[in-house]
Structure 1
């Protein structure tokens, strides 16, 4: 082709509506030879059925089975090996390739400590979102297990498995998925995105910070980006609550009863009374969350419970009063089940079911502490002596880099969405990191946006407008040059209403008109 005809041809290819693929092309991928990778499945799904995400409580994915168009399902394992603990390890993945591909690739983040391969459908990872999943939009979507086969933290006994979970499985899976994608469509993706919530949100930030050449769009929802410190904070919370946990008839302390639902409702109402109207409208939503000056004493909980509440919301500290993990914003979501399920649980036995314990304790002992100490008694955790034992893992695991110029320079677009009432990963910590990143990355406002969701707990839920669509915002940012300044949101907690989520530092302010419509609010 003559040089002057190359550009029009390329533009025509980019403008093409989709790249088509067939069942025959799909099944041929079973024989694909990719370094250190075994393809275990390559099957054509004519009816487009996608099973439910059984780990949706951790990933923010779809809890129900879904229907997509016809597509290819490829599964495999990268780097199969035997660990130092004698167990089998390797990064298992699932890749779904639509019959009509739109030229985009999405890496779907995991959740918890991974150890499972969720259906690669690319749902917006906020469980309350009704946005169309990426696969149904025509994306090729991949998911993976983080390099170990079970959703338990005992993989921390193997040094290589630690590295895979921290970041390496992202790179391995991306390379294999893009190779398979090219073999299917004979084209590289026009855009490569990563989207996840919780640990999947951390993985999204890792993708932008450590694999900036592979991704040009990232959506991190409620990301556990400082996961090693949050693990220590979980223990701090439990220590505080156990100080006031009442005993049952057998003399056993019951964590879930440290603060009753009546207590939490009192706090939520008191926070609303103090801060609701600061955004110009008393409507059950604290949009002016940064200026909320709530005092816990006003909730009427009594001296002991108030002291514990202040200690928890003040954040984990060592004996010198130095901050180990960020404090938290007071917000309405403290009365939501999503808050209780992490901090306190509901168990009426001596065996707590709070996720801070059921997920947090094992992760701390097996993975975050170096070396692993499986028999460690977290009730005796010393915040001076034991906190430094998490630093080594933090260095490989935490997505705390604040110079993101490598991601920005090649057109990267970065969106964070975090619930103000997230009980496990502090919105205050996220806010502070974002501010630092803006200072350390020149022109940060050109490529990054953060949306804070008042009332929302972890990956959706709470008294919140938690039904929104950051994926379409990312698409419009790349395709139309429209940087998202607001996301229109709805929520089951507020039927018949809509509200804008504003790009930080702006917040939604009521300016007149129908109070139930997002158009009546301005981002200021």
Structure 2
């Protein structure tokens, strides 16, 4: 048995052994204000500070550590609305992150919490902390969010001396994966969950999928200066498929309503002879087809490929799939405001998929910091990643326990997501419905045309997902239609369109303003 598999077998044993709460110490010196004395002593929790804050809305900030490593920050508003929302993290996390604050959770009166998931990292694309740390892998996989939820609920109810009316989780990317894990593994934790662009399949979707893309963009792992496909090549591809398919939805706007309906073959751009500016080489065609189709081994498809979309956007393919050390701006930022600081210890990668994929292989699967994808064997990977997948993957289609508790799951994904393929998100949703067709009553998926990873892109992307899940759970308002907003450079609404529950899609009426939701219907 190789070193990585032995290590991960031990991790599974640890996952079984770790309990939700064990032992506690209270260390805060600030117990002078109203309700602060009500914060309880909980097992295995060290409250490191309780402070009065005014930012966003008047509140108390309770900071603490669960066990020895899981840091959290719980915000308790003066004007509490009786509800709790957990804000998910991003990437490999590594610091306390709470995306619920971006939806004005605190201003709306929610008690809200975020966690670092039990480790510190140089940035959100840093996975080095996982090597040799069994507890950190289990915490990151699922335990930290669950334990933070249990602790937060206990503090909230003691602080306000009343029960929580409704509990929600909202997250995107890694936060979306955390959301999926909660629904599957801890179905009692939340009444409603909003999961965007979920990183739910770490072994096949992120590890295998991303390394597969890097093998095709950077065949030599020791030469990361320039990708096989340039920015100009990507523009050639995007221009070609838009010319063929842009107006399939009745609007010429550079946005594909459903890229699967575009019957464009990238091989049509093959050069007749030597490589020129207006065509692609056979090597480039092969690499692009591999990325659009997804990784395969001797048994067939390993995961979904990427649909057309995001090829020329600065936060699309360039940021996630192509890039190149000669082209990457050292001041580039990771999604959701997490800085990607480079250093001698953590050199800037050519793109984000390279960082995520190679770090996953090195520090999670193989436990070997010298691993590279040179001569990588696809055919052994299913076995190599089996054990770590038991801890990290949230791929079960069985949501019966979550639904039996009245739980509602609201999923969303940008069609042009170049980080986590939207086809994988659709695939998971279809697995849920195929497992139990009645799940469609409690699980909804909304596909967002022209939208990149979690936010941004050429399409309208802003939805307050806390409002949407709250309306569904607390107000019993079925989200059969959702208004989504274009956002301008000043982060102000600049028009709207309609989102429809998959497999329905928004249909333009052919006459109205294309940036007015009233011009669209679902079909």
Q: TM-score range by the shorter chain?
A: 0.7 to 0.9
Which of 334, 342, 345 in structure 1 is aligned with 2:311? 334
Deviations 1:209-263 (A, max 9, x none): 1111111110111111111212111111111112499xxxxxx844544222111
Taking the TM superposition and a 5 Å limit, the aligned residue runs for 1:369-408 are 369-370=365-366, 372-408=367-403
* Cα pair 2:217 2:227 within 8 Å, conserved: no
Q: More deviation in 32-41 or 465-474?
A: 465-474
**Partner residue, 2:238:** 268
Matches of 1:347 and 1:25, distance apart in 2: 54
User: CA 1:378–1:26 in structure 2 vs 1: closer, same or farther (change >3 Å)?
Assistant: farther
1:324 aligns with 2:302: yes
Q: More deviation in 172-181 or 471-480?
A: 471-480
Deviations 1:135-159 (A, max 9, x none): 1111000101111233542234122
**Partner residue, 2:72:** 93
**Partner residue, 1:171:** 146
1:509 aligns with 2:487: no
**Partner residue, 1:70:** 58
1:112 aligns with 2:107: no
**Partner residue, 1:232:** 208
Between the two proteins, the alignment pairs up a number of residues equal to 455
Deviations 1:29-75 (A, max 9, x none): 6x731101100011111xx22xxxxxxxxxxxxxxxxxx11000001
User: CA 1:244–1:489 in structure 2 vs 1: closer, same or farther (change >3 Å)?
Assistant: farther
> 1:461 offset after TM fit, Å?
2.0
> 1:197 offset after TM fit, Å?
0.9
> 1:289 offset after TM fit, Å?
2.9
> 1:296 offset after TM fit, Å?
0.9
* Cα pair 1:104 1:140 within 8 Å, conserved: yes
**Partner residue, 1:11:** none
Taking the TM superposition and a 5 Å limit, the aligned residue runs for 1:88-487 are 90-118=69-97, 120=98, 122-123=100-101, 132-150=103-121, 151=123, 152-153=126-127, 154-229=129-204, 230-243=206-219, 253-299=223-269, 300-318=279-297, 320=298, 322-331=300-309, 333-339=310-316, 340-348=318-326, 352-367=349-364, 369-370=365-366, 372-487=367-482
User: CA 1:74–1:393 in structure 2 vs 1: closer, same or farther (change >3 Å)?
Assistant: same
> 1:485 offset after TM fit, Å?
1.8
Matches of 2:424 and 2:32, distance apart in 1: 47
* SS, match of residue 169 in structure 2: strand
Matches of 2:448 and 2:32, distance apart in 1: 43
Taking the TM superposition and a 5 Å limit, the aligned residue runs for 1:48-59 are 48-49=54-55
Deviations 1:416-436 (A, max 9, x none): 111112122111111111011
User: CA 1:108–1:382 in structure 2 vs 1: closer, same or farther (change >3 Å)?
Assistant: same
Matches of 2:406 and 2:62, distance apart in 1: 30
* Cα pair 2:207 2:356 within 8 Å, conserved: no
**Partner residue, 1:8:** none
> 1:121 offset after TM fit, Å?
6.3
Matches of 1:481 and 1:177, distance apart in 2: 25
Deviations 1:387-424 (A, max 9, x none): 42111111111111101111111211111111112122
* Cα pair 2:88 2:114 within 8 Å, conserved: yes
> 1:26 offset after TM fit, Å?
5.2
Q: Structure 1, unaligned stretches of length 5 or more?
A: 1-21, 50-67, 81-89, 125-131, 246-251
* SS, match of residue 101 in structure 1: coil
Matches of 1:259 and 1:497, distance apart in 2: 34
1:499 aligns with 2:509: no
Two-structure CA RMSD over aligned residues (Å)? 2.3
* Cα pair 1:498 1:518 within 8 Å, conserved: yes
* Cα pair 2:258 2:415 within 8 Å, conserved: no
1:35 aligns with 2:35: no
**Partner residue, 1:44:** 52
- TM-score scaled by structure 1? 0.82
**Partner residue, 2:273:** none
User: Larger relative CO (CA 8 A, sep 6+): 1 or 2?
Assistant: 2
> 1:306 offset after TM fit, Å?
1.7
Matches of 2:487 and 2:230, distance apart in 1: 24
Matches of 1:288 and 1:162, distance apart in 2: 36
> 1:517 offset after TM fit, Å?
1.2
Matches of 1:307 and 1:244, distance apart in 2: 16
Matches of 2:314 and 2:166, distance apart in 1: 38
Matches of 1:321 and 1:309, distance apart in 2: 21
Deviations 1:371-401 (A, max 9, x none): x122212333221124421111111111111
* Cα pair 1:147 1:165 within 8 Å, conserved: yes
> 1:164 offset after TM fit, Å?
1.1
Matches of 1:449 and 1:190, distance apart in 2: 23
Matches of 2:236 and 2:35, distance apart in 1: 57
Matches of 1:479 and 1:463, distance apart in 2: 33
* Cα pair 2:99 2:170 within 8 Å, conserved: no
